[in-house]
Amino acid sequence: MISIPYGRQEIDQVDIDSVVAVLRSDFLTQGPVVPTFEKAIADYCGIEHAVAVNSATSALHIACLALGVGKGDEVWTTPITFVASANCALYCGATIDFVDIDAHTYNMSVDRLSEKLAAAEKIGKLPKVVIPVHLCGQPCDMVKISALSKQYNFKIIEDASHAIGGEYNNKKIGCCEFSDATIFSFHPVKIITTGEGGMIVTNNAEITAQLTRLRTHGIVKADFDDESAGLWGYQQISLGYNYRMTDLQAALGCSQIQRIDSFIERRNDLARRYSAELDSSKLILPVVKNGKSAWHLYVIQTKENKQRRRLFIELRNRGILANVHYIPVYKQPYYQELGFTLDYCYNAEMYYSGCLSIPMFYDLTDEEQAYVIQTINEFAGSL
């Protein structure tokens, strides 16, 4: 039976050889390949600093800590994202809140953010950090979000877990022109993969120093000239975590980043074909604003939840493994216990009622895509 996933990594012999080379080296964990990968990402994004970690969740966590998020602080993000975008604030003891999405781009709505900030200022509850999410790889309106950050004095962490290779203002997502830091994910279904892994990029040297300590138990090497510490000395100067990336992972990343432009080009080709050939009279198709999407996901919407459920089952029955990205975070049982209502954000509710991610990955063949399109259009024609 045909089996087409919604996403899949692309691994070639060069990737395999890169990992094998590390297996045969003296370093499997922390060695020379991690900083090489960090430099490759920094150069690609046009950024000064990059700090590799073991997941994008870890990256979000220590990025919040490096920006001073703690007990009593407010962090805002979008409800249409993976739970890690919100959990990171709770890890720091902060309070999380959600800004509704734009009905067309599915990213954080600048209008809703502006309204929420004005209301929060009146009661003295402005956020310390806002985390816009470049959902599906499409850039948020960072120019306007940055302008609001200057007006209301909050920091910005871009959650670009879906978006390495995307662009806004003719610059790569991750250049941090409009933010304090940007997060990438290298999970297998993302644009490039390290198996598991994440990266924080920033132009701020002080933030970088904090991130580097936080990912390694809060430890720094002692000054070589400090005789009291000995030549082997190290010092834990803060509480930190074991969030380090290994050389094995970084080797795969170094190989994958060499092909990222071809990955992005293919994903854009696939998206153009979907947009041209899917039945837009019966389905809501994604639109791109504010730049170039990395197209991690291609999300269609049916008109209502019952139609989405029927289509999901039909696709599964025909070997097409569609998925839902995402259930609004505030609907999760844990967040319900925090006091959020089931209908907290109107546009997020409307999006969730019909959203469905269809196959989007580098080696999706033209024949497989044609089969996906035919199957969906046959369903749409029956509505």
- C-alpha 153/C-alpha 127 separation (Å) is 9
Q: Of 136, 138, 165, nearest to 263 (Cα)? A: 165
Question: For 315-362, what is each residue's pLDDT tens digit?
Answer: 999 999 999 999 999 999 999 999 999 999 999 999 999 999 999 999
Per the CB < 8 A criterion, the answer to whether 244 and 38 are in contact is: no
Give the CATH architecture of domain 260-381.
Answer: Alpha-Beta Complex (3.90)
CATH of the domain spanning 4-257:
3.40.640.10
Residue 5, helix vs strand vs coil = strand
Question: For 93-151, what is each residue's pLDDT tens digit?
Answer: 999 999 999 999 999 999 999 999 999 999 999 999 999 999 999 999 999 999 999 99
What's the confidence (pLDDT) of residue 106? 97
pTM of the model: 0.96
For the chain, counts of helices (H) and of strands (E): 13, 15
Domain boundaries, the chain: 4-257, 260-381
What's the confidence (pLDDT) of residue 29? 87
- Whether residue 326 has a cis bond before it, omega within 30° of 0: yes
Residue 102 CA from chain centroid, whole number? 18
DSSP type of residue 135: G
Q: At residue 76, does pLDDT exceed 80?
A: yes
Sequence-separated (6 or more) residues with CB below 8 Å from residue 325: 135, 136, 297, 299, 355, 357
